């Protein structure tokens, strides 16, 4: 494997620091009279995502409050699943406490809060596009160094994704960094624990298939969250492939009460593959979740028939029947499971 | 061949290859009466003669060849009946006993058990003594035996008694197994700040310029050539 040897230097200017000539020269190479600093600032502040022209941005839909509420409702909240036994490097002794009723309630509320924090949904974004801007060209500087230099701003208190990362090529052009260079610089100077500089082999296609056969979805998705940013093409490829596999094997329950159920449901609704998920919910008597799915469908596809339903007044059974008639891709499967659900319901009502 | 000798012995109650061979050979000798070909010796074998005879039959692994097999054979071995008879359900290091020179065992083990394909120790470590055990990233069943269930860390060498060379192989194999996703481990939880990803969630006061940009801006505005002349007002400093 060939690594391009690039010099990583950082531009940290202390005022009241060493007054070397070299420092001044390096400093002047970064910023010239022609470069507009204000333009630089405005460019980096809002550089996170870029929208594709003809499509809707899933991020804009995702961040809406009603969508977030619906997704958290569908995810469920099983404390035994959220706080399953995990390996722990710092093993402590078991602590026993005597608590009053009030204190017990407080502890339980704290646990619920901690559980909610563990169910934070990873952001959903469009794929990031390369936008390398050339800040200035300078042929006089060409050949000043055998390798290109990358600069990053390490001042305090700025989010990592907003930092200015700039490259000076061997032929003298000063430009903003490519996506790959940005990712590497961010990991070097602001590392996230658990993230590798080189993509782990488990995300390559053949290895991914092997792990999917084992149905080890949580490992893949957790590691993808740590390793990639949500707008990287690799992250999108890995997560979409996992969701497809889960759809084929009908193993949605593996991800219930985890943080990954929300993005998975969003993916199915966005690409209109809701049927199997809905039939799975019906077979587990989760009629409210099925209705939430339909509401999500209405929000994401406002020009479909589902958007015309009224979700407040009508009976949930009616809604699902209407959906089976209108937009279901596999209507037979859905109607079959729906019939079984109704039968189970009627029997439960008869028994009392 | 070492492996055939291995397979014929039951290890559940015995301590090591070396001593197992010894114990079996000594019982053989105790059962046999004094051979009629040597009438000069006394009728009943004395302790000393028994010891001398036993010394002659001592077998040591030292100098015998050690050739590790390839990965496919090793994977087959882990599932085979031979493995089950030798080790059962215990980990590979469970029935191994180190030799002590003092009363205490040192906290480190020997450097290596075999050099240039031959054993240099009479009591090799649990992995080197079995030529079918290969520490490889694909051999997850073997790797899991050296990882603690509760902590997820590698078991200390005081417990497993593998030599340092095999410990290095184990670390490399574990790292590769994590990389390929074959070995499960606890991935650290990543908390997202939504404001980084969705600029519409940010408020006005969050958009502070970095210290570097204020410096660069001031230098451009005041058209300085030397860093010493740079002065920043208090508001500019506090804004970052």
Give the residue-averaged pLDDT of B61-75: 87
Beta carbons of A256 and A84 less than 8 angstroms apart: no
- The Cα A295–Cα A262 span in angstroms is 14
In degrees and rounded to multiples of 5, residue A21 shows phi and psi of -70, -35
CB A217 within 8 Å of CB A254:
yes
CA–CA separation, A152 vs A164, rounded Å? 6
Do B179 and A201 lie within an 8 Å CB cutoff? yes
> Which pLDDT score, from 0 to 100, does residue B240 have?
60
Q: Do B192 and A216 touch (CB under 8 A)?
A: no
| A202 contact B CB<8A | yes
Give the CA count within 13 Å in the CB-facing half-sphere of A56: 11
**b/e map B68-93, b = 16+ CB within 10 Å:** beeeeebbebbeeeebeebbeeebbb
3-state secondary structure B52-113: HHHHHCCCCCCCCECCCCCHHHHHHHHHCHHHHHHHCCCCCCCCCCCCCCCCCCCCCCCCCC
pLDDT band per the 50, 70, 90 thresholds, residue B42: low
Q: Residue A343 gets which letter from DSSP?
A: H
- Angstrom CA distances, A301 to A163, A239, A296, stand at 36, 22, 8
pLDDT on residue B41: 53
Of A96-100, B13-17, B42-46, B197-201, give the range with the top mean pLDDT: A96-100
Residues of chain A with Cβ-Cβ distance to B152 below 8 Å are 87-89
Exposure string of A65-92, with b = 16+ CB inside 10 Å and e = fewer, is eebeebbbbbbbeeeeebeeeeeeeeee
Q: Is A31 in CB contact (< 8 Å) with chain B?
A: yes
| Cα gap A126→A48, rounded to integer Å | 10
Q: Quickly state the pLDDT bin for A261 (edges 50, 70, 90).
A: very high
Whether B103 is in a domain gets the answer yes
Band of pLDDT at residue A243, cut at 50, 70 and 90: very high
Please report whether residue B39 resides in a domain: no
Length of chain A: 352
For residue B130, tell me if it sits in a domain: yes
Residue B136 included in any domain: yes
Non-local CB neighbours of A325 within 8 Å, separated by 6+ positions: A331
* Domain count along chain B: 1
Q: Which residue of B has its CA nearest to A163?
A: B210
Report the C-alpha gap between B135 and B74 in whole angstroms: 9
Q: B237 is written with which tokens?
A: 């400093």
For an interface test with A, give the residue of B181, B219, B220, B232 to mutate (most A CBs within 10 A).
B181
Residue of higher predicted confidence among A47 and B67: B67
Strands A7-8 and A149-152: parallel
* Pick from A179, A168, A165, A184: nearest CA to A40: A165
Residues of chain A in contact with residue B226, where contact means CB-CB under 8 angstroms, are: 19, 24
Closest residue, chain A, to B154 (C-alpha): A89
With an 8 Å Cβ cutoff, are A117 and B191 in contact? yes
Nearest Cα residue to A261 out of A285, A239, A279: A239
Largest separation between any pair of C-alpha atoms in chain B: 115
Average pLDDT value for residue range A110-120: 94
Q: Is the ipTM of this complex over 0.90?
A: no
Q: Which of A41, A46, A161 sits opposite B209 (nearest CB)?
A: A41
* Test mutation, A13, A48, A115, A231, chain B, max B CBs within 10 A: A13
For residue range A23-35, list pLDDT tens digits in order. Answer: 444 444 444 544 4
Where exactly are the structural domains of chain A? 134-177
Residues from chain B that touch A24, judged by Cβ atoms under 8 A, are 225-227
Size of interface A-B (CB pairs under 8 A): 140
Chain B residues closer than 8 Å to A136 by CB: none
pLDDT tens for each residue of B165-207: 999 999 999 999 999 999 999 999 999 999 889 888 887 766 6
Helix or strand holding residue A48 (H, E): none
User: Residue B120: phi, psi to the nearest 5?
Assistant: -110, 5
Within B145-198, where are the H helices? Answer: 157-160, 164-180, 194-197
Query: Among B191, B196, B186, which Cα is nearest to A223's?
Result: B186
Task: For residues B139 and B130, give the distance between their C-alpha atoms in angstroms, rounded to a whole number.
Answer: 15
**By residue range, what is the domain housing residue B106?**
58-180
Q: Does residue B31 carry a pLDDT above 70?
A: no
Which range in B14-23, B123-132, B198-207 is most confidently predicted, on average pLDDT?
A: B123-132
Range among A99-108, A154-163, A341-350, B120-129 with highest mean pLDDT value: A99-108
Most confident by average pLDDT, A296-300, B59-63, B199-203, B217-221: A296-300
Please determine, for residue A9, whether its predicted confidence score (pLDDT) is greater than 70.
no
> In this structure, what are the phi and psi dihedrals at residue A150, rounded to the nearest 5 degrees?
-120, 140
| Confidence label for B239 from pLDDT (cuts 50, 70 and 90) | low
Q: Note whether residue B26 is domain-resident.
A: no
**Mean pLDDT of all residues belonging to chain A:** 83
Q: Which of A88-92, A284-288, A344-348, B42-46 has the lowest mean pLDDT?
A: B42-46
Asked if B217's CB is within 8 angstroms of A41's CB, the reply is yes
Q: Using a CB-CB distance cutoff of 8 angstroms, which residues of chain A are in contact with residue B182? A: 210-211
- Residue B14: what pLDDT? 41
- Cβ–Cβ below 8 Å for B232 and A219: no
Token pair belonging to B215:
């410096």
* Residue B20 pLDDT exceeds 80: no
Domain annotation covers residue B143: yes
Could you say which of A11, A48, A202 has the minimum Cβ distance to residue B199? A48
Q: Is the pLDDT of residue B135 over 90?
A: yes
Instruction: Inform me whether the pLDDT recorded for A3 exceeds 60.
Output: no
Q: What is the mean pLDDT of residues A208-231?
A: 93
Three-state DSSP class for residue A247 = helix
């Amino acid at each position: 494997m060939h690594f391009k040897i690039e010099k990583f230097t950082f531009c940290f200017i202390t005022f009241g620091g060493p007054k070397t000539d070299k420092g001044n020269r390096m400093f002047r190479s970064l910023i010239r009279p022609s470069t507009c600093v204000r333009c630089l600032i405005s460019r980096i502040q809002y550089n996170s995502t870029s929208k594709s022209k003809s499509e809707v941005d899933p991020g804009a839909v995702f961040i809406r409050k009603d969508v977030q509420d619906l997704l958290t409702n569908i995810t469920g909240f099983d404390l035994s699943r959220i706080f399953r036994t995990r390996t722990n490097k710092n093993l402590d002794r078991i602590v026993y406490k005597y608590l009053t009723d009030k204190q017990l309630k407080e502890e339980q509320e704290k646990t619920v809060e901690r559980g909610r924090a563990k169910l934070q949904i990873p952001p959903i974004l469009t794929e990031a596009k390369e936008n390398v801007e050339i800040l200035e060209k300078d042929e006089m500087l060409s050949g000043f160094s055998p390798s290109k230099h990358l600069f990053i701003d390490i001042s305090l208190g700025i989010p990592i994704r907003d930092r200015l990362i700039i490259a000076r090529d061997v032929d003298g052009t000063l430009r903003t960094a490519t996506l790959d260079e940005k990712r590497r610089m961010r990991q070097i100077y602001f590392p996230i624990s658990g993230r590798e500089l080189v993509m782990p082999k488990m995300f390559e296609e053949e290895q991914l298939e092997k792990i999917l056969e084992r149905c080890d979805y949580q490992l893949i998705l957790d590691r993808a969250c740590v390793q990639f940013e949500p707008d990287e093409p690799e992250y999108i490829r890995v997560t979409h492939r996992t969701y497809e596999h889960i759809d084929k094997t009908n193993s949605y329950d593996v991800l219930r009460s985890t943080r990954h159920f929300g993005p998975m449901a969003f993916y199915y609704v966005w690409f209109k593959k809701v049927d199997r998920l809905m039939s799975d919910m019906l077979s587990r008597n989760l009629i409210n979740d099925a209705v939430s799915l339909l509401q999500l469908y209405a929000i994401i596809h406002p020009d479909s028939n589902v958007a015309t339903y009224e979700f407040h007044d009508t009976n949930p059974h009616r809604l699902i029947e209407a959906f089976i008639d209108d937009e279901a891709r596999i209507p037979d499967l859905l109607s079959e499971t729906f019939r079984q659900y109704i039968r189970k319901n009627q029997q439960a009502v008869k028994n009392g | 061949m070492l492996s055939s000798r291995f397979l014929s012995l039951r290890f559940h109650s015995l301590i090591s290859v070396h001593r197992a061979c010894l114990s079996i050979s000594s019982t053989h000798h105790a059962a046999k009466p004094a051979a009629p070909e040597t009438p000069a010796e006394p009728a009943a074998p004395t302790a000393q003669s028994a010891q001398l005879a036993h010394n002659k039959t001592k077998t040591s692994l030292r100098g015998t060849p050690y050739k590790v097999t390839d990965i496919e054979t090793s994977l087959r071995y882990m599932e085979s009946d031979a493995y089950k008879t030798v080790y059962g359900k215990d980990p590979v290091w469970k029935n191994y006993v180190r030799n002590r020179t003092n009363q205490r065992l040192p906290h480190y083990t020997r450097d290596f058990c075999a050099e240039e394909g031959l054993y240099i120790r009479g009591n090799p470590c649990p992995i080197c003594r079995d030529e079918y055990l290969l520490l490889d990233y694909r051999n997850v069943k073997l790797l899991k035996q050296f990882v603690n269930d509760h902590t997820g860390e590698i078991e200390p060498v005081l417990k497993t008694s593998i030599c340092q060379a095999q410990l290095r192989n184990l670390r490399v194999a574990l790292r590769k197994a994590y990389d390929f996703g074959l070995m499960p481990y606890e991935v650290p939880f990543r908390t997202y700040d939504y404001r980084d990803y969705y600029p519409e969630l940010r408020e006005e006061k969050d958009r502070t310029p970095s210290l570097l940009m204020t410096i660069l801006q001031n230098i451009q505005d005041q058209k300085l050539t030397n860093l010493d002349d740079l002065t920043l007002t208090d508001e500019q400093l506090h804004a970052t």
